[in-house]
Amino acid sequence: MKFAVLVFPGSNCDVDMYHAIKDELGEEVEYVWHSETSLDGFDGVLVPGGFSYGDYLRCGAMANQSNIMTALKEFAAAGKPVLGVCNGFQILTEAGLLPGALLRNKNLKFMCRTVTLNVENNNTLFTNQYAAGEQIEIPIAHGEGNYYCDEETLASLQANNQIVFTYDNNPNGSLQNIAGIINEQGNVLGMMPHPERAANEIVGGADGLKLFTSIVKQWREQHVNN
């Protein structure tokens, strides 16, 4: 399986994403600069955290105007896996690939620590290696991680089982403790915590690695084992 890691001016978790795929999974991965216009040849796309374009206007708003976003929207529409983490989640909401928005943390402070997540839906291409209700330890590092959507959108997310991760102890004020959601089609996941920073026990835990192995497992079942 071959992954693309998108890189915008201000991205700072792209190297972590690359490491998780290349060194922990042993899969192919390449950086793709924001000015590129094609994602041909890739099987999955990772949109990393950081401060794209310095978070000017709104987090992710300027990144959504980059050339590569047209290709990303086409990639997602084709049903291929897209993972956006932290600033990547913000970019996916700005692009309309996921509903809702990320607001300033309730305490108005940047937070960087490990939190406990609940796996609310393990029947997705991103979570099939987790147990239903499993609790995992994943780092956060954000100032605008407070997920918000209107009542109609929340009802839709709940009805379609699109809430994938919730916080066990909400750190940022997110609606219904939401930490990660998928689109209706089930191939686009956005989450604020950083699974790529929890891919090896040597850095404090490997609970995030199952997310990446889940993607690869499902892709192989669909493309290799058939």
Task: Give the residue numbers annotated as catalytic, written as ranges.
Answer: 86, 194, 196
Sequential DSSP letters for 43-78: SEEEE--B-GGGG-SSTTTTGGGSTHHHHHHHHHHT
Residue 162: partners with Cβ closer than 8 Å, 6 or more residues away = 121, 156, 181, 182, 183, 184
Residue of 209, 50, 85, 49 whose CA lies nearest to 137: 209
Q: Are 14 and 5 in contact (CB under 8 A)?
A: yes
How far apart CA 136 and CA 117 sit, in angstroms, is: 5
How far apart CA 10 and CA 67 sit, in angstroms, is: 16
Q: Are 4 and 39 in contact (CB under 8 A)?
A: yes
